[in-house]
């Protein structure tokens, strides 16, 4: 029974690995890329939602548009109606930021696929003499107490940074940049229930305000539970924005 389960797991691992690698091949081959431009119809930022602030433009042609990731410079220098440069791959438009994000995700898919393939192959080679010698070599590797302690401390610090990275990256720029404030309309509210002990519920507002030059800024920003309970859609709230980058929007935990 045990051997049968191991065989089934190995076969499933092989098929899963082939599937992930197949996704990569399907997305990029035959690889063809063409330089092109599309018209920007809307701009939006997200601050405090992910590890780093994210900036997006909604661009397209003939009334059809899709969301694309852009740099801080691009979102501030591009006006509505301007064209944003990018590339067309398999009849789909990508900005440089899109390609970087997509390639990163694809690399993960390929890595996971390769890992599953290797897990599947291990079942069939585990009885070979080479594999048995490899297991003996692993058993003979000894790690002293100092290296073990260092490894444990390294994992602890890594776990601590992983839990607190959002707070650090969201709060730190606020104390080193120059902000102004204005009234903004709350377009929508959002509550994410979260999961697990270290990832509780999160709250966000999508707000809109107008700069002195008439440009409209739309941003999805993280808010506290206290703020989330006090305001509703279509309410007006005071928000802070970075003067050199108005799409970096900040909301105090206790706004006036």
Taking each helix axis as running N to C, give the angle between helix 96-125 and helix 129-140, from 0 to 180 degrees, rounded to the nearest 10: 110
| Tokens coding 34 | 């063409």
- Whether 25 shows a pLDDT value over 70: the answer reads no
Residue 81 DSSP one-character state: T
Express each pLDDT in 127-152 by its tens digit. 667 667 766 776 666 666 666 666 66
Across the chain, mean pLDDT equals: 79
Rg (CA), the chain: 25
Report the distance separating Cα 55 and Cα 217, nearest Å: 11
Answer for the pair 204, 190: CB distance below 8 angstroms, yes or no: yes
- Whether 247 shows a pLDDT value over 80: the answer reads yes
Express each pLDDT in 168-220 by its tens digit. 555 556 566 788 999 999 999 999 887 766 567 889 999 999 999 899 999 99
Express each pLDDT in 225-244 by its tens digit. 889 999 999 999 999 999 99
pLDDT attached to residue 52: 83
Report the distance separating Cα 221 and Cα 49, nearest Å: 7
- Give the mean model confidence (pLDDT) for residues 20-47: 79
- Residues 141-152, buried b or exposed e (16+ Cβ, 10 A)? eeeeeeeeeeee
pLDDT attached to residue 154: 72
CA distances in angstroms from 95 to 83, 98, 104, 217, listed in the order given: 12, 5, 14, 21
What pLDDT band is residue 162 in, cutting at 50, 70 and 90? low
SS3 155: helix
Please give the span between the terminal C-alpha atoms of the chain, in angstroms, as a whole number: 67
**Residue that wins the pLDDT comparison between 251 and 210:** 210
pLDDT attached to residue 35: 87
- Give the mean model confidence (pLDDT) for residues 27-32: 62
Percent of the chain with pLDDT over 70: 61
Answer for the pair 34, 88: CB distance below 8 angstroms, yes or no: yes
Report the distance separating Cα 215 and Cα 201, nearest Å: 33
Residues 6+ apart with CB under 8 A from 117: 13, 14, 17, 18, 21
SS3 231: coil
């Amino acid at each position: 029974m045990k051997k049968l389960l191991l065989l089934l797991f190995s076969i499933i691992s092989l098929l899963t690995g082939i599937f992930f690698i197949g996704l990569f091949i399907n997305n990029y081959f035959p690889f063809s890329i063409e330089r092109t431009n599309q018209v920007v119809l809307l701009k939006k930022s997200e601050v405090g939602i992910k590890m780093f602030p994210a900036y997006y433009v909604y661009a397209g042609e003939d009334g059809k548009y899709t969301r694309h990731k852009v740099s801080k410079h691009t979102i501030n220098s591009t006006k509505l109606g301007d064209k944003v440069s990018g590339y067309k791959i398999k009849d789909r438009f990508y900005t440089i930021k899109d390609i970087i994000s997509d390639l990163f995700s694809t690399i993960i898919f390929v890595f996971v696929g390769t890992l599953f393939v290797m897990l599947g192959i291990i079942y069939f080679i585990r009885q070979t003499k080479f594999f048995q010698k490899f297991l003996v070599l692993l058993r003979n590797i000894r790690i002293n107490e100092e290296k073990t302690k260092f490894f444990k401390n390294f994992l602890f610090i890594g776990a601590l940074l992983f839990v607190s990275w959002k707070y650090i990256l969201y709060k730190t720029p606020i104390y080193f940049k120059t902000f102004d404030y204005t009234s903004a309309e709350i377009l929508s509210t959002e509550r994410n229930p979260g999961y697990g002990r270290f990832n509780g519920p999160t709250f966000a507002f999508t707000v809109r305000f107008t700069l002195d030059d008439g440009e409209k800024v739309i941003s999805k920003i993280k808010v506290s539970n206290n703020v989330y309970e006090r305001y509703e859609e279509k309410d007006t709230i005071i928000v802070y924005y970075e003067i050199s980058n108005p799409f970096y929007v900040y909301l105090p935990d206790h706004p006036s």
